[in-house]
Every structure is written in C-alpha cells, then in structure tokens.
Amino acid sequence: MSTTQTTVYLIDDEPELVSLLSEVVTQLGLSVRGFTRAGQFFKEVRQFTNDAILILDLHIPEMDGIEVMRRLVQMDNPPALVLISGRDIGVLHAAEKLGRAHNLDILASLTKPVSLQRLRQLLEIHMAGSPKVESNPRDRLKYVPSPEELQQALRQDQLVLHYQPQVDIPSGVCTSVEALVRWHHPEHGLLLPKGFIPMAEQYDLITLLTHWVVEHVVEQSQQWQRQGISLEVSVNISARDIIGSTLPKQLYGLLESKQLDPTCLTLEVTESALMGELAGSLDILTQLRTKGIALSVDDFGTGYSSLSQLLKAPFSELKIDRSFVSRLTTEAEAQAIVKTCILLSHELNMRVVAEGVETKEQYQQLRELGCDMAQGYLISKPVPAEEIKPNMVFRP
Ligand code: C2E
Ligand code: MG
Ligand code: MG
C-alpha cells in the first residue's frame, strides 16, 4: 500500500464549493489543496504523487477545464480526474472522452449540485482495495514494459489470472467468474492489463497471451469441477485472436482433451473491436457459437454499434459498460441507457450483465430494471482462484 498520504486537488471558481468539497476530502483522512483559479494551481503544483486526484470544474474563468486537461497531458504523472460541470451533461461526456483519448485517468464526472455522498463513495473506492491483491492500481499503470519482457513473462509464467465473481441478481448466487490477467513483474510488482494488453496487441503477442490465458482457464475450470465448484468462466479475447483464427482450433482441442463442456466458457469481445477489425470475421464467431461456446459483447454502449450489426453475430450476452452503471442512480440519461440495454438484450434473447457495480443503490436499481447479472467491487474485486469458494451467495 502507498505510504504517502494521497493529495486531492480542487479547482472550482466558487470558493464555497471548494471549502465544502475540501471538508468531505479531509473527513476521509486525505490531504486537500483547493484553488479558485487554474493559473494558481499550475504555479504552485509542479508534480504529483502517484495516487493524486484532481477534482476539476470545467467552467472556470481564464483557463477553462479543457485547457487544464491539455496542460496536464504534458506533465509527468498527471493526477486522476473527477470532472464537474453545472451545465449540459453532454459537455461532461465530451470532456471525458477527450481526457480518455489523451490517456488521462478519468474517475468520474459529476453534475452540479455535486452529490457529496457520491463524491465520498468515489474517493473511498479509489483509495480502497485489498492490499494483497488490488491495491494502489495507479502505481502499476506507470511502468511500460517492453515486448521482450512480455515474451519472457509468458515463458516464465509471470502472468497470473484473477477471477471476478458475477452474480445472478434475483438469487444472489455466483454462477460465473470473469478471468482477468495480471502480471507479477519481478521488479515492478503487479501490473494491470491496461499496462500491457495494448502493447501485446501492437507487437503481435496477443495471440500468445490469449493462448496462455485460455489454457490456464480451462485447467482452473477442471480443478473447480473436481472440487464440486460449478462456475462458468468468461475470457476476454482480442480481435486479432479471431482474425488470426488459431483460437477456435486451440479451444476445440483443449475442450476435447480435457473433456470440458463448452457451455461453461464465454468469450468476451469488446463492442469497439466488433465494430472495427472484427466486422469482417463474424463467421468465425458464429462457428464458435455453434460449438456451444457463449459469446459476450463487452463494454457495451461505448462502441457505436447499430442494432443490425449486433444481430449479425450470435451473441448470447451483453455487458453494460461501467461508465453507465456508475451514473445509473444519479443521472437520468444513464438510467435511460441502462434500461434500454436491458430491454434490447431481452428482446434479442441475450443475458445482460451490469459491469462495475459499486453501490447497493445501483444493485437495487438494476434488480428493479430486470438486469440478469451483476459484477463489480460491491460484490468482489477480482481475486486469485483460491479465494473463489463453492456456493458463493451475495446478499446486498
Ligand atoms: P473488462 O473486460 O471490461 O473487465 C472489467 C474491468 O473492470 C477489470 O479491470 C475489473 O477489475 C474492473 N472492474 C470490475 N468491477 C469494477 C468496479 O466495481 N469498479 C471499477 N472501478 N472497476 C471494476 P482490469 O482487470 O484492469 O481489466 C481491464 C481490461 O483489460 C478488461 O476490461 C479487458 O478488456 C482487458 N483484459 C483483462 N484481462 C484480459 C485478458 O486476459 N485478455 C485480453 N485480451 N484482455 C484482457
Ligand atoms: Mg471483460
Ligand atoms: Mg468490460
């Protein structure tokens, strides 16, 4: 765990809001520095610690929020951002997208009047985490490993899979888990996928990595079966795995040799991959589906797919992106999107999973809206296989 105290910076031109928000931050035991002008902020703050956070009002005089984000991109180690705006929600979303496109870590965006409860929750979630497994994730995003290091890591089994439970909302029973890869780097500790998956894709190492993941998932599933733990497992795959088309062969071979039921496996592809590179390879996905392997659209709502595109491949599951779930109980627009995703999935006979469920309120609302499954820190963070117990039931 980090030993230095986290600093939360605030920039808002309303001094009353700065002092109100400062109070919330201090109550959580974090140190705070408030500014009413961005110019002053940049004059006084030249560098950030790894877990720093900046709460930024987009509409400030002289240098506005967008300009602040531009300046942050040019600095080493920029803080994670919480954006706030008193105007149109569309402005917030556009700013969020812009920030993400520049690799800024956007924790959330909030409309004014700012819900103090939501802010508290956000900061708590950012700071929380089981130290053993998932602590201080921002540290681990900083190191950029080389392709050679990843090849070595694959050979030396430095990768490890963590599993995040998914529960059936009506019963609370954990029926499946998602396998999420981590890298135990010998010098830099536990690295998260964001720090090496894009590199693996860029340097054509993703197929090797997916093979490693699939092999370990199949082995783990067998082990769970032997222990009487019955769980479906979801695996994230990249467009390259499908286009290269070695994955189906590997999968059929493994499932046959290990005598594993294909219906216990789900392959997740992101909506943006589906609409981009994968658009021409839907036949391979269809082939996988006919063998009984389930297919899931991951991060749904972020990839601009049309209904007809969705219908072209036989998906069995849709995962509503975390960015909508996180705003479900505070923004009418997000609620409308989540509701529509649920209706759409059910019309298409697909199971619908909400990603990134962090609060009881979100869980309750998802239940009322008829969402089938939930996954998120409220239920459990991703954990090592040994921490997955038989008959896990979630009671909110
Ligand atoms: P994803 O497939 O959408 O996985 C969900 C991500 O959200 C995971 O991040 C998980 O730890 C995180 N998450 C789950 N619940 C919550 C929550 O309540 N709050 C918050 N803030 N986050 C939550 P992770 O493990 O860092 O993985 C990020 C992405 O990396 C994954 O997104 C997936 O696209 C990719 N990835 C992970 N493992 C693999 C893999 O084996 N192969 C490939 N190709 N991609 C992978
Ligand atoms: Mg996924
Ligand atoms: Mg996802």
The whole-number average pLDDT for the span 48-62 is: 90
Both tokens of 165, joined, read 């439970």
Cβ-in-10-Å burial (0-12, 13-18, 19+) of 280 comes to exposed
- Phi, psi at 206, each rounded to 5°: -65, -35
90-93: long-range contacts (C-beta < 8 A, 24 or more apart)? Answer: 91/58, 92/58
How much is the pTM?
A: 0.73
Distances (CA, A) of 301 to 38, 99, 122, 247, 336: 33, 18, 22, 26, 12
Q: What is the mean pLDDT of the chain?
A: 88
Residues near 204 by beta carbon (within 8 Å), at least 6 away in sequence: 240
Question: Where do the structural domains in the chain lie, given as residue ranges?
Answer: 2-134, 144-387
Burial class for 168, CB neighbours closer than 10 Å (0-12, 13-18, 19+): middle
pLDDT score of 135 more than 80: no
Residue whose CA lies nearest to ligand 1 atom number 11: 382
pLDDT at 2: 39
Q: Examine the pLDDT at 52 and tell me if it is beyond 50.
A: yes
Q: Is there an atom of ligand 1 within 6 Å of 193 CB?
A: yes
Handedness of CA 240, 243, 248, 250 (dihedral sign): negative
Higher pLDDT, 143 or 155: 155
Tokens 């720093």 correspond to what residue? 52
Topology of domain 144-387 in CATH is: TIM Barrel (3.20.20)
Atom of ligand 1 nearest to the CA of 193: 30
- Which of 150, 180, 302 for mutating ligand 1's site (highest number of atoms within 8 Å of CB)? 180
Note the pLDDT tens digit of each residue in 275-303. 777 777 888 888 888 889 999 999 998 77
Confidence label for 4 from pLDDT (cuts 50, 70 and 90): low
The single-letter code of the amino acid at 87 is R
Residue in the block written with tokens 């030396």:
156
Q: Which residues contact 94 (CB under 8 A, 6 or more apart)?
A: none
Q: Are strands 294-300 and 265-270 parallel, antiparallel or unpaired?
A: parallel
Considering only 72-86, 228-242, 306-320, which range has the smallest mean pLDDT?
306-320
Please write the tens of the pLDDT for every residue from 93-133.
Answer: 888 888 887 888 888 888 888 989 888 888 887 776 433 33
Q: Tell me the average pLDDT across 50-63.
A: 90
**Percentage of the chain exceeding pLDDT 70:** 95
Q: Answer whether 271 contacts ligand 1 (Cβ < 6 A).
A: no
Ligand of minimum distance to the alpha carbon of 164: 1
Q: Which atom of ligand 1 is nearest to the CA of 206?
A: 44
C-alpha–C-alpha distance, residues 209 and 237, integer Å: 10
Q: Which of 211, 186, 177, 183 is nearest to 197 (CA)?
A: 183
State yes or no: pLDDT of 149 exceeds 90: yes
Q: Could you tell me the two tokens for 267?
A: 């392959």
Task: For ligand 1, say whether the CB of 195 is within 6 Å of any of its atoms.
Answer: no
pLDDT of residue 142: 58
Q: How far is the CA of 197 from the centre of ligand 3 (A)?
A: 14
Q: Per CATH, is 2-134 categorized as 3.40.50.2300?
A: yes
In the predicted structure, residue 3 carries a pLDDT above the cut 50 = no
The answer on pLDDT for 20 being more than 80 is: yes
